[in-house]
C-alpha cells in the first residue's frame, strides 16, 4: 500500500522528520478559516495509508481540525488512517475528580478511536488507566517509551541522581536512571490547585552536593518541577536539571523554573518546544514500518 505522512503547519518540522525516516512524502493539511473562526481543513488526494502526525498539545483547536480531516482523508481515498500523536491530550482527566466534571479521557479516546484504524503514542499519562487500549477501541493502539531518547538527551557525563517529583513518575525516573547507570528516587506530591503543589522528600534522601536530574512525563504549568527544584535545592543539591517527555509549558513557566534554580531543561520533540533535544522520529518510524509495508 502507498503511504504518506500528513500534518498541520504547526507540526511540519517533526512530521517531515518522520516522513524522511520512513522514506515517504509529507503533505501539509491547509486550514481555511472563515470570518467567524470556523475552520475547514483541505487535504490532498490520497490513497493507501494516511499517517496523520498530530501531537495533541493545544488540543482544543487541533482536535476539531483533526476530526474534520479524518472525514476529508477518507473521502479523498485513504484506505487506512493511522494517528501518530506523540503527545496524547486529555489523559490526565482519567477520573471524575469533582462533581460536575467530564471524564475527558474517554470522550476524546472514543472520538479518535472511532475514526482512526490505529493510534501510536509516546509515554501516555496512565495514572488511573489500567487498559488504555480499551479507551481507543475499536482502533488498535501502540505505546512507545521515551526512556532511551530522554537518557540520550541528558547525556552520559557524570552519574546524576534521578528524581521523580511524585510516585507516579517512578517508571520514567527508573527507565532513565537505568539507562544512565544512575540511581533514582521519587518525591511525594499533593496538588493544591493548577499551579500549586506540595512536595515531600523521603526522610533518608541525601542530595547534598549532588547533580540532580528531575524526570517527569509532562511539564505544563511547571508548578510540579518548580516546587521539586526549590525543595531539592533547599536540601543541598549542587544543581538541578530537568528532563521531560512532553514539554507543554510556556515562556513564563520556563522563567519560573529558571528562577527556582533549574540550570537546563531537555525534552523530546513529542510537542514542538524550544527545549526539544531528543528526536522521536527513529522510534516512531520503526513502529510504523509494518504500516507502510502492508
Ligand atoms: C501529573 O501527574 C504529571 O505526571 C505531571 O507531574 C503534571 O502534569 C505536571 O503538571 P504541572 O507542570 O502543571 O505541575
How do residues 216-242 score in pLDDT, each as one tens digit? 999 999 999 999 999 999 999 999 999
Q: Are the CB atoms for 266 and 247 separated by under 8 Å?
A: no
Query: Which comes out higher in pLDDT, residue 192 or 218?
Result: 218
- pLDDT confidence bin for 294, thresholds 50/70/90: confident
Mean residue pLDDT of the chain comes to: 96
- How many C-beta neighbours within 10 Å does residue 192 have? 10
Closest ligand 1 atom, residue 248 Cα: 12
Say whether pLDDT at 156 is over 80.
no
Q: Are the CB atoms for 116 and 52 separated by under 8 Å?
A: yes
Average pLDDT over residues 108-128: 97
- CA 156 to centroid of ligand 1, rounded, Å: 26
- pLDDT confidence bin for 1, thresholds 50/70/90: confident
Q: Of 196, 197, 233, give the one whose Cα is nearest residue 214.
A: 233
pLDDT for the residue numbered 190: 84
Q: Are the CB atoms for 111 and 67 separated by under 8 Å?
A: yes
How do residues 263-278 score in pLDDT, each as one tens digit? 999 999 999 999 999 9
Helices 104-113, 59-75: crossing angle, 10 deg rounding = 20
Say whether pLDDT at 193 is over 90.
no
18-22, 116-120, 125-129: least confidently modelled range: 125-129
Task: Give, for ligand 1, the residue of 165, 217, 224, 225 to mutate: max count of ligand atoms closer than 8 Å to Cβ.
Answer: 224
pLDDT for the residue numbered 197: 84
Residue with cell 493511522: 82
Query: Which comes out higher in pLDDT, residue 189 or 134?
Result: 134
- CA 286 to centroid of ligand 1, rounded, Å: 29
Instruction: Read off the pTM.
Output: 0.95
pLDDT for the residue numbered 194: 77
C-alpha cell at position 293: 509495508
Query: Which residues, in sequence order, are bridge partners of residue 142?
Result: 120
Helices 147-154, 170-180: crossing angle, 10 deg rounding = 60
Task: Give, for ligand 1, the residue of 97, 196, 219, 221 to mutate: max count of ligand atoms closer than 8 Å to Cβ.
Answer: 219
Say whether pLDDT at 195 is over 80.
no
pLDDT for the residue numbered 192: 81
Amino acid at each position: 500500500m502507498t503511504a504518506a505522512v500528513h500534518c498541520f503547519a504547526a507540526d511540519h518540522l517533526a512530521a517531515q522528520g518522520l516522513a524522511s525516516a520512513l522514506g515517504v512524502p509529507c503533505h501539509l493539511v491547509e486550514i481555511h478559516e472563515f470570518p467567524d473562526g470556523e475552520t475547514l481543513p483541505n487535504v490532498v488526494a490520497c490513497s493507501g495509508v494516511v499517517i496523520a502526525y498530530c501531537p495533541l498539545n493545544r488540543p482544543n483547536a487541533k482536535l476539531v481540525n483533526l476530526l474534520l480531516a479524518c472525514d476529508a482523508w477518507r473521502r479523498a481515498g485513504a484506505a487506512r488512517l493511522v494517528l501518530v500523536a506523540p503527545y496524547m491530550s486529555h489523559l490526565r482527566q482519567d477520573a471524575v475528580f469533582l462533581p460536575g466534571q467530564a471524564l475527558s479521557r474517554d470522550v476524546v479516546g472514543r472520538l479518535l478511536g472511532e475514526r482512526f484504524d490505529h493510534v501510536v503514542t509516546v509515554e501516555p499519562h496512565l495514572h488511573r488507566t489500567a487498559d488504555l487500549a480499551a479507551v481507543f477501541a475499536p482502533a488498535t493502539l501502540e505505546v512507545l517509551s521515551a526512556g532511551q531518547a530522554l537518557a540520550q538527551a541528558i547525556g552520559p557525563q557524570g552519574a546524576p541522581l534521578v528524581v521523580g517529583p511524585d510516585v507516579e513518575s517512578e517508571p520514567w525516573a527508573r527507565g532513565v536512571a537505568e539507562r544512565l547507570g544512575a540511581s533514582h528516587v521519587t518525591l511525594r506530591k499533593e496538588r493544591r490547585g493548577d499551579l500549586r503543589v506540595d512536595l515531600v522528600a523521603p526522610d533518608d534522601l541525601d542530595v547534598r552536593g549532588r547533580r540532580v536530574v528531575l524526570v517527569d512525563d509532562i511539564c505544563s504549568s511547571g508548578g510540579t518541577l518548580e516546587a521539586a527544584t526549590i525543595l531539592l535545592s533547599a536540601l543541598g543539591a549542587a544543581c538541578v536539571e530537568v528532563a521531560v517527555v512532553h514539554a507543554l509549558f510556556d515562556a513564563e513557566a520556563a522563567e519560573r523554573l529558571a528562577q527556582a534554580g533549574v540550570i537546563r531543561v531537555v525534552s523530546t520533540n513529542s510537542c514542538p518546544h524550544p527545549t526539544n533535544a531528543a528526536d522521536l522520529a527513529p522510534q516512531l518510524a520503526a513502529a510504523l514500518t509494518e504500516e507502510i509495508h502492508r
